[in-house]
Amino acid sequence: MTETFALALPGGITLECRAAGTGAARVVLLHGFPEAAFVWDGVMERLAPRARCVAPNLRGYAGSSAPAEVAAYRPRLPVGDIAAAIEALGAPVDVLVAHDWGGALAWNLAAQRPELLKRLVMINSPHPATFLRELRHSAEQQAASAYMNYFCRPDAEARLAENDFARLWPFFGDAGWLTPGLRERYREAWSHGLTGPLNYYRASPLRPATAPTDLLHTLQLDDTAVTVRVPTTLVWGDQDRALRPGLLDGLERWVPDLRLVRVADASHWVVHERPDLVTAEIERALSLA
């Protein structure tokens, strides 16, 4: 049975969390855009006999603190939220699991605060070093990421919310897993507002350049700041339309202890498409933690 609680953090931020399980191991799960913590319910219930699982709604998402200013979503602040949450829950966690924007936070956390986690399971989330490289040099990735600049428009919230979120549903592709009940859960989450979720895009320099002065052209990521030495499993749905396979090239430079699990017939939404596989990879990580 999934429960909900509020986790108060330093600085006045509160994260609404979903949790399940009473097992001795500890697992924290981070969602991405345009989702919320509820997407982990099925995985948490599968893990419940073995682990205490906690899935927070990230800063800006339904039920959690949602500062209005873009600057509040610069990476160090939401990464700090997750660090503080893990410390409050009892560090280190055995496995940190993350997808999409949750993965962006987790890559940074694992590189900067490795003492907070024993193992990392990432799901279709690009490492910042390969993402920067591909956004600069890969026309394929630039085209696949063009939507990010659309999300930075000042009217993006209104446009995405129009006509029952008609512009958001297509991001899921041909989603046979998207049942009427699950659609309603997405509607409820989105009804809390889209400004916070979109501010992650607005605060990040990692999106296709549109002008010679864009920070993407000059941004430097020091290897020591982005190298993840925590043992890592990366589950990757090869049919991801937004994140192209070039993002995997040379990844071992920044993630030397890497196990790559490629899923040929899955997309960005592999958590929904192949929940048993995702759960099995988390269980495998738990057995090694």
Catalytic residue IDs: 100, 201, 268
CA dihedral sign, ordered 233, 108, 66, 1: positive
From residue 264, alpha-carbon distances to 21, 243, 273 in Å are 31, 14, 12
| CA 111 to each of CA 65, 152, 254, 284: distance values in angstroms, whole numbers, following the listed order | 25, 27, 9, 22
Q: Which helix (H) or strand (E) element contains residue 134?
A: helix 128-137
Smallest CA-to-CA distance from 203 within 70, 78, 66, 33 is with 70
Q: Identify the bridge partners of residue 16 per DSSP, sorted by sequence position.
A: 6
To which H or E segment does residue 76 belong? helix 76-89
